[in-house]
Amino acid sequence: MNDEKIIYFDNGDTTRIDDEVLDYMLQFYRTSYGNPVSLHSLGIEADENIASARETIAGFINADANELIFTSGATESNNMAINGIAGFYKEKGDHILISSIEHSSVKAVAHRLENEGFEVEEVKVDKQGFLDIEDLRSKIRTKTILVSVIYGNFEIGTVQNIREIGAVCRENNIVFHTDAAQAYGKMRIDVKDENIDLMTFNAHKNHGPKGVGALYVRKGIKLKKMIDGGSHEFGMRSGSENIPAIMGFALASEIAYRDLEINNSHLIKMRDRLADGLLQIDHVTYNGAHGENIDKRLPHNVDITFQYIEGEAILMHLSLRNICVSSGSACSSKTLEPSHVLTAIGLKHEQAHGSIRFTLSKFTTEEEVDSVIQNVKEVVEILRSMSSFIPEEHSELINKDAKTFYKKK
């Protein structure tokens, strides 16, 4: 990166930490650094701090404090939920259902369980990424022990009808898990009203620290624990808690929910401005919930397919212009495989390879949005001028002056 200002549109991957959160965390490194299992004054203080943070975070999802287990992040929470249910309920059943657009930390761990004798099936979604409820109902069996459906999709931004999915699971006495890492802090979530049994979320998607997350576990739901060694986190996750990160998690949550309506109004305005500008480019597709379903889309997410060019090439050209975006989920963006989310909603492999995700934050400005629109238009023109994939009927997309234009830039 050069000395010019960076425009960061990859907030679905991670966010810049809030200055207020960082300053708050420092005191727990410098002066309030006790271990909460210690019986001296600093240990008691630490135990009280973590209890306060647990109460605060649980309140934002209408959970009880003792239903919250702190983890190292969403990936661990997803693993704990799926492995924990499989391990505890395996005598009851061996059938697991997940949606076809789950994050890799759900998809990979669920399918790994197939090596242990479990059967895993994926439930279909439609072209905008909404779960097919009838397909879910048709796949449920007497031996189904878990359904896992992502709350708001990390790539295409589609928000599921979690309440309805949870109700189907309750009707059939099946544990329901949702990965809410992208939705927490941007949507009002009520685990009781939405029939949620297990829920994954974390701090760093909401201007909090990395390396800390949580798993909500409804009273009565049992998990086989994955880590032995001590009484931490109600005996479910041994190891000294990361107190500064947990306290930062709590404050970042407070800020996010205090300012939720203001931030979401801003995010939606920026999201729609960006989408409207990018959709002016020929031969592009808006992936995920849009049109009459736009209110069922995460407020910060825009995912666009640019036909006849590679998303990785767009990403690299934008990076050279100090613009940070993503060509897929952060955990799989270094692979050459097409996004399973995009192929699940019906995109062909070459279309999936030509997709870019733009994710905004409360710090995003109109000037940044307009700059990204202009730069993307220029980059797409340049890349299409060099593309060998453009069919003859769209030859007007080949601008022979584009290479020269790029050199002038």
Q: How far apart are CA 369 and CA 211, in angstroms?
A: 29
User: Which tokens is 341 given?
Assistant: 């989310």
Collapse the DSSP code of 356 into the 3-class scheme (helix H, G, I; strand E, B; otherwise coil) and give the result.
strand
Rounded average pLDDT over 134-155: 98
Average pLDDT over the chain, rounded to whole? Answer: 92
Indicate the pLDDT class of residue 336, thresholds 50, 70 and 90: low
Q: How far is CA 187 from CA 28, 115, 182, 330, in A?
A: 29, 36, 9, 22
pLDDT (0 to 100) of residue 334: 56
Per the CB < 8 A criterion, the answer to whether 198 and 218 are in contact is yes
Q: Provide CB contacts within 8 A for 38, sequence distance 6+.
A: 44, 46
Residue-level pLDDT at 74: 98
* Residue pLDDT, tens place only, 86-95: 999 999 999 9
pLDDT of residue 229: 86
Q: Residue 230: which pLDDT band, with cuts at 50, 70 and 90? A: confident
pLDDT of residue 233: 87
Tell me if 15 sits within 8 A of 184, measured CB to CB.
Answer: no
Chain region(s) in the chain for CATH 3.90.1150.10: 7-15+260-408
Residue with tokens 């592009």: 284
Q: Please state the pTM of the whole predicted model.
A: 0.92
- Which pLDDT score is estimated for 388? 59
The rounded distance, in Å, linking the Cα atoms of 243 and 44 is 13
Model confidence at 338, pLDDT cuts 50, 70, 90, reads: confident
User: 139 burial class (0-12, 13-18, 19+ CB within 10 angstroms)?
Assistant: middle
Tokens for 346, please give them: 């019906």
What's the rounded mean pLDDT across residues 37-65?
A: 95
Taking residues 256-272, report their average pLDDT.
98
Q: What pLDDT, on the 0 to 100 scale, is given for residue 391?
A: 60
Within the chain, how many helices (H) and strands (E) appear? 13, 12
Which 3 state secondary structure label does DSSP give 83? Answer: helix
pLDDT confidence tier of residue 75, bands split at 50, 70 and 90: very high
CB count, 10 Å around CB of 326? 22
* Catalytic pick among 22, 108, 227, 331: 331
Whether domain 19-257 has CATH 3.30.70.100: no
Q: Categorize the per-residue pLDDT at 1 as very low, low, confident or very high, splitting at 50, 70 and 90.
A: very low
What per-residue confidence (pLDDT) applies to 232?
Answer: 85
CA 152 to chain centroid, in Å, comes to 7
Confidence of residue 395 (pLDDT cuts 50, 70, 90): low
Q: Hey, what are 274's tokens?
A: 């960006």
Model pLDDT, residue 221? 97
Percentage of the residues of the chain whose pLDDT score is greater than 90:
84
What 3-state class would DSSP assign to 79?
A: helix
CB neighbours of 323 closer than 8 A, spacing ≥ 6? 6, 7, 9, 371, 372, 375
> What are the tens digits of pLDDT across the range 352-366?
999 999 999 999 999
What confidence score (pLDDT) does residue 405 get? 38
Between 63 and 407, the more confident residue is 63
> At 409, is the pLDDT very low, low, confident or very high (cuts 50, 70, 90)?
very low
In this structure, whether the domain defined by 7-15+260-408 belongs to CATH 3.90.1150.10 is answered with: yes
Q: What is the mean pLDDT of residues 30-59?
A: 93
341 vs 238, which has greater pLDDT?
341
What residue ranges of the chain are covered by domains with CATH 3.40.640.10? 19-257
Question: Is the pLDDT reported for residue 394 higher than 70?
Answer: no
- Half-sphere CA count of 62, side-chain side, radius 13 A: 11
Phi, psi of 50 (to 5 degrees): -65, -35
Active site residue 169: no
Residues 6 or more apart in contact with residue 346 via CB below 8 angstroms? 127
Sign of the dihedral through C-alpha 307, 312, 313, 316: positive
Q: Are 322 and 4 in contact (CB under 8 A)?
A: yes
A 10 A CB-CB count for 217 gives 25
pLDDT the model gives residue 402: 43
User: Quick check: 330 pLDDT over 50?
Assistant: no
Report strand pairing: 301-306 vs 355-359. antiparallel
Segment 164-177 shows an average pLDDT of 98
Establish how many alpha carbons lie within 13 A of residue 386's alpha carbon, considering only the half-sphere containing its beta carbon: 14
